[in-house]
Chains A and B, each alone.
Chain A
């Protein structure tokens, strides 16, 4: 279990540190755009009711996919301000540690070690698989932006992340033309299939400048996280490997 202890502590520490840095930049550049968009999201509801295209309005699409929408007054929600920031940072940190665990698991299962030196490559890989590739089909969305049903989008998001990650792993493991062909197929397939989209025209209540700023800030913040968590995990992983407390006693441990 020494190996698991080592990657466990490395993932928790790297996830916490990178997640805290991401949270700071996120509160500075991303969260204000979410709050600004919510003003339009909330203002949109009565305006939509006056229009005649009820069938395609985002509110209706939401209800079909997730009956208890966030506007459900019965569900608990954090108060705006300190409480909301606290839960957002908490969720950031838990998600960050989770991403670090996924990175560690892929490394251990594939037999490719994460080190301080190659950590940035792993970080780029995580960013491409879990943010850039999904965003290519489903751009980071603000509250109030019309979108297709939730569950198909979640399925496409997960499928794209897994296929893109597997594609990059194929290149890393095989290091030949076969690997590159497998990677090309896996990475392209989700985009050829296409992300779930709303049919027809759906005007967004959220101004375009908010949406474009948000998409860029979201991806930049995500890139910061991944570029930190990869090398940090690699550095801790190597440090712990040298420490007697985590020493792997050969193949018999």
Chain B
């Protein structure tokens, strides 16, 4: 039961645990959003073209 109580919250975790998970997630998120929205490679630009326009990224 004791562990059950702790599982629901991230506030009980150490700063380093949160830092590692948070930085990893941030890195993945920025790579994905950056690749879809900002990569200058023309093949990526053309494939993601409509997504960039539809989501309001500056496209060209």
Do B43 and A4 have beta carbons less than 8 Å apart?
no
- Closest B residue to A253 by beta carbon equals B17
Q: Could you tell me which residues of chain B, from 2 to 60, have a CB within 8 Å of some CB in chain A?
A: 2-4, 6-14, 17-26, 28-38, 40, 42-43, 45-60
Count class of interface residues, chain B:
35 or more
The interface residues of chain A lying within 8 Å CB-to-CB of B14 are 251
Kindly state whether residue A221 has any CB partner on chain B within 8 Å: yes
Task: Find out whether the CB atom of B9 lies under 8 angstroms from the CB atom of A113.
Answer: yes
**Nearest CB in chain B: distance from A37 CB, A:** 9
Shortest CB distance B23–A (Å): 7
Inter-subunit contact B10/A135 (CB<8 Å): no
Asked if A177 is an interface residue, CB under 8 A from chain B, the answer is no
Q: Is the CB–CB distance between A140 and B42 below 8 Å?
A: no
Closest CB in chain A relative to B35 CB, distance in Å: 7
CB distance from B41 to the nearest CB of A (A): 9
Is A227 part of the contact surface with B, judged by Cβ < 8 Å? Answer: no
Contact residues of A: prevailing secondary structure:
helix
Interface of B is mostly: helix
Assess whether A97 is interfacial by the CB under 8 Å rule.
yes
A135–chain B nearest beta-carbon distance, Å = 5
| A89-116 at interface with B (beta carbon < 8 Å) | 90-92, 94-95, 97-109, 111, 113
Residue of B nearest to A15 (CB): B32
Tell me the A32-89 residues at the B interface (CB within 8 Å): 34, 62, 65-66, 68-70, 72, 75-78, 84, 87-88
Does A218 reach chain B (CB closer than 8 Å)?
yes
Across the interface, A70 reaches (CB within 8 A) one of B32, B45, B54, namely B45
Residue of B9, B18, B42 touching A109 (CB-CB under 8 A): B18
User: Which residues of B come within 8 Å of A, CB atoms?
Assistant: 2-4, 6-14, 17-26, 28-38, 40, 42-43, 45-60
**Given A109-B22, A140-B53, A154-B57: 5 more A-B contacts, CB < 8 Å:** A91-B36, A108-B21, A218-B54, A222-B56, A253-B17
A to B CB contacts below 8 Å, 15 in the list: A70-B49, A77-B46, A87-B47, A91-B51, A91-B52, A92-B54, A98-B35, A108-B18, A111-B18, A140-B55, A147-B58, A150-B58, A247-B7, A248-B3, A248-B12
Q: Which 3 A-B pairs have the closest CB atoms?
A: A98-B32, A101-B29, A75-B42
Q: Which residues of A contact B (CB under 8 A)?
A: 1, 3-4, 7-8, 11, 26, 30-31, 34, 62, 65-66, 68-70, 72, 75-78, 84, 87-88, 90-92, 94-95, 97-109, 111, 113, 131, 134-135, 138-143, 147, 150, 153-154, 157-158, 214, 218-219, 221-222, 238, 241-242, 246-251, 253
